[in-house]
Every structure is written in C-alpha cells, then in structure tokens.
Structure 1
Amino acid sequence: MREAWKVGALARQTGLSVRTLHYYDEIGLLCPSQHTEAGHRLYNSKDIARLQQIKSLRQLGFSLDEIRECLKRPAFSVAGVVQLHLQRLREQIEVQHKLYGRLETIAQWLERQEQVPVAEFLKVIEVMSMLEKYYSPEQMEELKARRATVGEARIKEVEAEWPRLMAQVQAEMDKGTDPADERVQELARRWRGLVNEFTGGNPGIEQSLRTMYEQESNVSGMDTAAMRPMMEYMQRAWAASGG
C-alpha cells in the first residue's frame, strides 16, 4: 500500500471530488496528516481509514456535523443517532408508500379513461389528497379492496343514485315530513345502504367519512354544506326507528 496520497489521487480512488476533500479539511472532518514542501495535502493510511468511516456514516444518512461529533467523541451516542435516522427512514418510507398508492390508483383510473383533461386529472389528485387527510393508511387499503370487490359498474350506479336520493330527502324536508314517517324511513334505509356499500360496514371508515363531510365544503363535487341538514334529518330518522 502506498504511504501517502495526494488529494487528486485520493479523489480518483474514492470517487469523491477534490472540492469535497478540501471542504472536509476546512471543516475539520478529514485533515491530511502531512503536507508537501509546496503545501499540497498528503493523506496517509490512517486518513484513508477515517475517510472510509466518514463514507460509511454518510451512507447511513448521518450529517457531516453528526459524523464529526461521532469521530471526535468516543462517548458520542451512536445508538441515539441511529435511532433518529431509523425514525426518519420510517417517515420517508411512509411518504413513499403513500405516493406509490396514489400513483397506482391514478394509473388505474387513467386506464379506464379514453381521454383525460388536465383539469379532471388535477381534480382526482385533489380528491385523493382529501381522502388521505381523513382516512388512515389501513382504511385507504380497505377502501381500495372494497372498490375492487364492488366493481366499477356498481360504483357508477351508486354515484348516479346519490343525487336522486338527496333530491327526495330534500323534498320531504321541505314538506316538513316527520322523520318517523314511513316515506322518510324508506329514504333513510336507502341512505344507510349506499353508505354501507362504501364503508363495508366498517364503523371506523364511517366515522372518517362523517368527519370529512362535516369539515369539508365540497367532496367529489358534492356540496357537503348543503348535505349536512339532510344528514341530520337522516340521523333523526334512524333514531326514530331505533337504528
């Protein structure tokens, strides 16, 4: 093994740039043990070993400040830093997993469309962002599986049924029909049935759905602010039936 390396030779050997090695010297992270008479940096075997440690720690995600402290102080809590980076990685993996799921859903949606206007595409992304705000990752997975089970044809039928049902509910509200009346009770049963087709009867998903409709003014083109009195009317109907 050669006794000393000039900075250029070390850069070529390690794949680091000369500028990076100079910077490591400037911040006191990797200072060459020797210099030539002309002042050029010379790195010995101990310097090379330290550089390998630096590169290993960088690969683990350590910052340069953390690496300097780690190598300078034997009592430095390496375990603590490792745990910190594990947490960061878990967060990054969660973000990437969510992004993967979003892109997968968008890809499946795009496959079903002949032509997708940009505005419609952006609307899909907006809806997905809203869903992720209210549903847990586990609930999102369950909803995805639920969609596959129900099928696209039935989903379209349900989407078409909601406006008709809401118009009928609004009509009974305008007439002042008692929620216990059989006409309203039938509407309440249909309402519950459509909700259950979406939630699969999962009370956690139903609660997330209710929270979203209470806090958002528009969900998938539905005026949820206008729907809230209807939802209260339906709840009174369910209470009247003991459901």
Structure 2
Amino acid sequence: MIEREVISVCNETWKVGELSRLTGITIRTLHHYDEIGLLSPSGHTDSGHRLYSESDIVKLQQIMSLKQLGFALDEIKQMFERSDYNPQQVIKMQIERLDEEIRIKKELRSQMKELEEVFDTVHKPSSEQFIKAIQLIINQKKYFTEEQRSKLKIQYEKFKSNEMEALTSDWNQLLTSFQSEMEKGTSPDNPFVQELAQKWQEGINMFAQGDTDIVQAAENYYRDNPLAAKENGMSRELYEYINKAIISSSNLNGCLKTT
C-alpha cells in the first residue's frame, strides 16, 4: 500500500511540487511564472530546487485574483513593479466583481423562474416560443419595476381561468371594434369610438388597479415595441388610432368636469 504524502500548510517553505498540490496550480505554470519574472521563489535548496515562502504564496494569490479579473500576465507584472501597487485594492476589485456576478446570477435565476411559469401549462414549447418569452421578459424589465411586475402578477392570479377567458374575449372584441372603425375611416372623435376608448381605459385601469405609473409604463412598452403589440392583435396603426381616441376622450372628460 502506497502511503499518501501529507503536506502541512504550516510549513515555512514549500517546494514547487508541494505548492502545486496545495493550490492546484500546475508545476509547469509555476515554472513559467518564475521564467517570466512574475513569481520567483524566495529561496532554493542546496540542490537547486525552488523554495516558496509565505510571502510568495500571498503574491501567488494576488496573481490568481488579478487573472480572474481578466488581467494579462504582463499587465500583472507591471502592477507589481509599480511603487503605488496596493494589494488591498486587488481584493476590493475582486469583491466588486463577485458582487456583480451574484447580481447577474440572481437576475438570470429570476428570468428562468419566469420562463418556467410562462411554460408551466405548455407541454412542448417550441424554440420560437422560448425566444419570444425571453424577449418579452427582458423587454418588460426595461419598462416595469419589480414592484409593478409583482403587482400585475398578483392581479392576474386573482382571476379564475373562466374569468380570464371572458376578459380576454371582451378585450379581443374591443380590439376588433377599434380595427373595424379605423378601417372605415371613422374619426377617433366619433361618439362610438369615444365609447370604445372609455371601455379600453376602464379595462386598463381595472387590471393596473388604478396605478397610473403602471399604465404609463405599459403605454411606453407598446409604443417602443410594436412587434409585441402586433402579437397581441394590435398593429402600430391601430395603437396610434386607439391612443388618439383615448386622448380625445380624456380631453372631453376634462371639459365636462369643468363645466
């Protein structure tokens, strides 16, 4: 039976093989660092073998941290040669980088959870569905705050499936009516179109729970993403037509309130 060599981390010095086994850095890499003058051992044995000290290990840790931050070996070497080099700054930079990685990971997890919910009822979603869902999640995050998105989700979950189907049917009928009047050339100021605009606003306010910031965010989203609106049955032309009707309706209501 071959006994495994036990290496104490409390040694005052370490040979290159010992340091390699302790750190996981190959002997070849350590030799290379020595050859380019990046990390030379503090001493040597009588037979010429490299001996690394505790200060060498501290410097090795700094090298690995800087490499992880994306610096090239020649850049790291130049840093060490500078009189104003601050090892504490390296640690600070690495912590900032890790914080950013954590933030990105959390955001990615949040997006994956949303995808999971989006396709919870879909047996075999297509690649196109996944792409559209990803685009929707990313785009919506640009316009809606986390608080607004949470509020909309809670409101959505309040509706039973049959209620949501009825609301969707009514909304599609409203879009169809707007589309028909637009194609006929009916003015957005027309009383019937104004009545449609009132129903549209009531539906939006009901779902947004009267939160004008959510309503504005939704308007900004559909204004800047015409393809998303089109997928919901609303072309750019129809969106602009409905918007004119809503503005006209709002102005009319304002006039009625002041008279």
- State whether TM-score is above 0.5: yes
Aligned to 1:199: 208
Counterpart in the other structure of 2:5: none
Deviates more, 1:74-83 or 1:106-115: 74-83
Alignment length, in residue pairs?
Answer: 241
Letter of the 1:6 partner, please give it. K
Does the aligned pair in 1 maintain the 2:188–2:194 contact within 8 Å?
no
Contact preservation (8 Å) 2:16, 2:52? yes
1:162 paired with 2:171, answer yes
Change (3 A) 1:206 1:154: same
What does residue 225 of structure 1 align with? 236
Task: Tell me what 1:179 maps to.
Answer: 189
Which structure 1 residue ranges, 5 or more long, are not aligned? none
Q: Secondary structure at the match of 2:249?
A: helix
Q: Equivalent residues in 2 for 1:74-223 (5 A)?
A: 75-76=84-85, 84-85=93-94, 87-150=96-159, 152-173=161-182, 174=184, 176=186, 179=189, 181=191, 183-219=192-228, 221-222=231-232, 223=234
What is the alpha-carbon distance in structure 1 between the residues aligned to residue 203 and residue 115 of structure 2? 24
Which secondary structure does the structure 1 equivalent of 2:18 belong to? helix
- CA gap of 1:225–1:81, structure 2 versus 1, over 3 A, is farther
Structure-2-length-normalised TM-score: 0.72
Change (3 A) 1:175 1:2: closer
Q: Which residue of 2 aligns with 1:25?
A: 34
2:17 to 8, 26, 45: 8
Q: Deviations over 1:55-113 (max 9, x none)?
A: 6x569958577876776667445666566555544443333222222111211222222
Query: Conserved in 2, the CA contact under 8 Å of 1:185 and 1:238?
Result: no
> Aligned residue for 1:238?
250
Matched residues in 1 for 2:185 and 2:53: separation?
Answer: 92
Aligned counterpart, 2:3: none
Scaled by the length of structure 1, what TM-score is found? 0.76
Counterpart amino acid of 2:186?
Answer: G
8 A contact 2:15–2:49 mirrored in 1: yes
The amino acid of 2:158's aligned partner reads T
- More divergent stretch after superposition (115-124 vs 103-112): 115-124
Task: Pick closer, same or farther for the CA change 1:43–1:177 going to 2, 3 Å.
Answer: closer
How far did residue 217 of structure 1 move?
1.9
Secondary structure (helix, strand or coil) at the match of 2:210 reads coil
For residues 14-58 of structure 1, the C-alpha deviation after alignment (integer angstroms, 9 at most, x for no partner) is 222223323433454421123457754332344245445656x56
Amino acid at match of 2:240: R
Give % identity: 29
Is there any run of 5+ residues in structure 2 with no aligned partner, and where?
A: 1-9
SS of the residue corresponding to residue 42 of structure 1 reads strand
1:188 and 1:238 in contact (8 A); partners too: no
1:169 Cα deviation after fit: 2.3
Contact 2:198 2:249 in 1 (8 A): no
Letter in 2 for 1:191: W
Deviates more, 1:193-202 or 1:83-92: 83-92
Aligned-residue CA RMSD in angstroms?
Answer: 3.6
Show CA shifts across 1:150-194 (max 9, x none).
45544443333322102212334436356362x334322220122
Q: Aligned letter for 1:237? A: S
What is the SS of the residue equivalent to 1:122?
Answer: helix
What amino acid maps onto 2:199 in structure 1?
A: R
